[in-house]
Amino acid sequence: MPPLSPAEVEPIADPAFRADVLAGLTARPRAIPARWFYDRRGSELFEDITRLPEYYPTRTEVAILERACAEVATLTDAGRVVVEFGSGSSTKTPILLGHVDPSAYVPIDISGAFLRDSAAALAKDHPGLTVLPVEADFTRAVALPDAVRGKPALGFFPGSTIGNLVPVQAVDLLRTMRASLGEGAMLLIGMDRVKDAATLVAAYDDAGGVTAAFNLNLLHRINRELDGTIPAESFRHVARWNDDAARIEMHLEAVEDVAFTVAGRDFAMRAGETIHTENSHKYGDRDARLLLAAGGWTPRACWTDADDRFAVHLAEA
Ligand code: AVI
């Protein structure tokens, strides 16, 4: 095993993390962007979430893709460059690649190490496929590698990650993806659907407490990386359905009055006050088509499961 780099011994705080946490704890209502969930432990806990009995989105989307990808292939011409946004350790990619006969696969992810590992594993399983990983933040326009620039692309954005953005940000992201993918692009995107509140809340507040641990891990990360003294045991995980905004909200609620410091700054919260940590918007069929249209995409086809829990949309630029 190679010697540990200083960053692995003691994580160096990301200045953007520090800025978001300090601003988020100062703001009213308090809110910290959900992207900071995903340190190593948070990513592991998220993988665990995707296998929970209550968390239906992952297995439902996989089943839809298994059924739909043959038809996706007939609606998109062969030889497109498949560009996956936020590829992570996706188990869904091989389902698509197995059907659409791409000329190349371009996974884009902000985490270089994760990206290289999963790209290498995928290339091994698909001999002959050109895999061109790009380490980048896909919320900004990404220049595709020279070898594929100008070729028609099929964007792939599974997982309902679009739901973690408020609608105005979701529209911006759809427009940015359109710009990154270029002329004649198509997009295959997963979106979770509106359904009864009990099913939704259970998916984000599982009986085994995995989602609670995922949410509370943010406090441990703050303590570790930003020299914080937040008493995590004085907080509880809350998942609630906000019907007006059609979203699940996750919060960390103080169960008693607390005072703590983060990066040398003092904070206090009264019992019952919360830090808003995540939104997960759900889209009905019309909402989804309207969102796509606002983002510059023309909806072409849509596949759902028998219970209408989740949808995969195909759209054209
Ligand atoms: C990554 N994202 C689509 C998940 C979701 O369902 O909104 C994140 C998540 N948060 C709690 N459980 C899952």
Q: What is the DSSP string of 266-278?
A: EEEE-TT-EEEEE
Q: What local confidence, expressed as pLDDT, does residue 89 receive?
A: 66
Q: Which of ligand 1's atoms lies nearest the C-alpha of 215?
A: 11
Task: Using DSSP bridges, classify how beta strands 265-269 and 104-109 pair: parallel, antiparallel or unpaired.
Answer: unpaired
Which residues, in sequence order, are bridge partners of residue 154? 82, 186
Q: Which of ligand 1's atoms lies nearest the C-alpha of 161?
A: 3
**Is the torsion defined by CA of 28, 202, 84, 119 positive or negative?**
positive
Q: What local confidence, expressed as pLDDT, does residue 264 receive?
A: 98
pTM metric for this prediction = 0.94
Instruction: Kindly give the distance from the C-alpha atom of residue 279 to the centroid of ligand 1, in angstroms, as a whole number.
Output: 9
pLDDT band of 11, cuts 50, 70, 90: low
Beta carbon of 60 within 6 Å of any ligand 1 atom: no
Is residue 18 over pLDDT 80? yes
Q: What local confidence, expressed as pLDDT, does residue 130 receive?
A: 96
Beta carbon of 280 within 6 Å of any ligand 1 atom: yes
Q: Are the C-beta atoms of 13 and 19 separated by less than 8 Å? A: no
Instruction: Kindly give the distance from the C-alpha atom of residue 77 to the centroid of ligand 1, in angstroms, as a whole number.
Output: 32
Mapped onto helix, strand or coil, the DSSP state of residue 222 is helix
Q: What local confidence, expressed as pLDDT, does residue 251 receive?
A: 99
Is residue 12 over pLDDT 90? no
Q: Looking at residues 265-292, what average pLDDT do you find?
A: 98
Determine which residue's CA is closest to atom 1 belonging to ligand 1: 161
Percent of the chain surpassing pLDDT 70: 96
pLDDT band of 3, cuts 50, 70, 90: very low
Determine which residue's CA is closest to atom 10 belonging to ligand 1: 204
Q: Are the C-beta atoms of 106 and 133 separated by less than 8 Å? A: yes
Q: Looking at residues 26-44, what average pLDDT do you find?
A: 95
Q: What local confidence, expressed as pLDDT, does residue 111 receive?
A: 81
Beta carbon of 161 within 6 Å of any ligand 1 atom: yes
Q: Which of ligand 1's atoms lies nearest the C-alpha of 280?
A: 7
> Looking at this protein, which amino acid is placed at residue 267?
F
pLDDT in tens, 149-159: 999 999 999 99
Ligand 1 site-directed mutation target among 36, 45, 49, 205, most atoms within 8 Å of CB: 49
Q: What local confidence, expressed as pLDDT, does residue 9 receive?
A: 47
Instruction: Kindly give the distance from the C-alpha atom of residue 96 to the centroid of ligand 1, in angstroms, as a whole number.
Output: 22
For 2, counting Cβ atoms within 10 Å of its Cβ (0-12 exposed, 13-18 middle, 19+ buried), the class is: exposed
Average pLDDT, the chain: 94
pLDDT band of 7, cuts 50, 70, 90: very low
The residue among 249, 316, 315, 238 whose CA lies nearest residue 282 is 249
Q: What local confidence, expressed as pLDDT, does residue 29 receive?
A: 98
Reading across the β-sheet that carries 235-242, which strands appear in turn? 30-31, 274-281, 247-254, 235-242
Beta carbon of 164 within 6 Å of any ligand 1 atom: yes
pLDDT in tens, 215-251: 999 999 999 999 999 999 999 999 999 999 999 999 9
Is residue 261 over pLDDT 70? yes
Mapped onto helix, strand or coil, the DSSP state of residue 103 is coil
Q: Are the C-beta atoms of 39 and 217 separated by less than 8 Å? A: yes
Which residues, in sequence order, are bridge partners of residue 281? 247
Is residue 110 over pLDDT 90? no
Is residue 162 over pLDDT 70? yes
Is residue 70 over pLDDT 90? yes
Beta carbon of 217 within 6 Å of any ligand 1 atom: no
Query: 9 versus 23: which is more confidently predicted?
Result: 23
